[in-house]
Structure 1
Amino acid sequence: MSPPRLPLTRALIDVLTTGTGRPCGLTVLPRATDGGPAAFPYLILDSLPGEFSGPSFANWHADATWTYQATSVGERADQVQWLGDRVRAALFDRTPGGWRTDIPIAGMRVIDRELTYDADGDPVDGSQGSIVTYVQRFTITVTPAA
């Protein structure tokens, strides 16, 4: 059996919310503290198919690589580019000792992070009142904690 995905997903929502300073919903529009829709810009995190390596599926000690998509949503291109920069900083900035931001998950340890797709600064122009999005996909590899 591979490590469970939900604890990682919850940890990523926490890291993205804290690291960007903006709300993050799991597959849906995040809510403001008053229960209404969150103000722009905000993030939507989606789980995509994962990969498994190491011992057989029956062995708890297998590693899992889970893929996610973070969609920055705003009213203007500069909002979503700014938020995309904050996502990259929260998940991928390094210090001499390792990652700048820890992703704490009970019973698991993050062993790799990779940005696999970035909209590369080319979001849809929202000047005509459109909603603008900026898509980033990344993989997080976890292993059971020792």
Structure 2
Amino acid sequence: MLAVGTGRPCGLAVLPRAADGKPAAFPYLILDSLPGEFSGPSFADWQADAAWTYQATSVGERADQVQWLGDRIRAVLFERNGGGWRTEITAPGLRVIDRELTYDADGEPVDGSQGSIVTYVQRFTITVTPAA
């Protein structure tokens, strides 16, 4: 969903690759799943809600690239379209009930210590409940 919505390659916990197997061109993003949180009845109960936190790391050669990609990620995840979300998140058997940006690099790209690589970190939490 993030790759389609941003128009940039997204790797799931790994460096994204181009069709020829080479590393994707900058800018790109890496999505990592962080530990989840659960509320309500025990997780064995089908009515339990679950919240999963993800980290999206935008990677580029320049600060403007990663800031732009960070803006695109926020738009894909949090923009509204009429009464709902602009981009739906589908999870079989579940219904998304909340989306929250829990950390944003506050517009400041991080790091130049990897040579010419600049990163920008965002964390967001998706809360789901069983579909009715």
Q: Give the drift of 1:125.
A: 6.5
Q: Deviations over 1:96-116 (max 9, x none)?
A: 311111011111111000001
Instruction: Please say if 1:109 is aligned against 2:95.
Output: yes
Matches within 5 A, 1:93-108: 93-108=79-94
Partners of 1:145 and 1:39 lie apart in 2 by 38
Question: Structure 2 unaligned runs (5+)?
Answer: none
Report the counterpart of residue 30 of structure 2 in structure 1.
Answer: 44
Partner of 1:10: none
Greater share of residues in helix: 1
* TM-score normalised by length of structure 1: 0.85
CA RMSD of aligned residues (A): 1.4
Partners of 1:56 and 1:144 lie apart in 2 by 13
Scaled by the length of structure 2, the TM-score of the pair is 0.94
SS at 2:36 equivalent: strand
CA distance in 1, matches of 2:124, 2:91: 17
- Residue identity opposite 2:70 in structure 1: G
Q: Please give the alpha-carbon distance, in whole angstroms, between the structure 2 residues aligned to 1:138 and 1:124.
A: 18
Q: Which runs of 5+ in 1 are unaligned?
A: 1-14
State the identity %: 85
2-structure distance, mates of 1:57, 1:27? 25
Count of aligned positions:
131
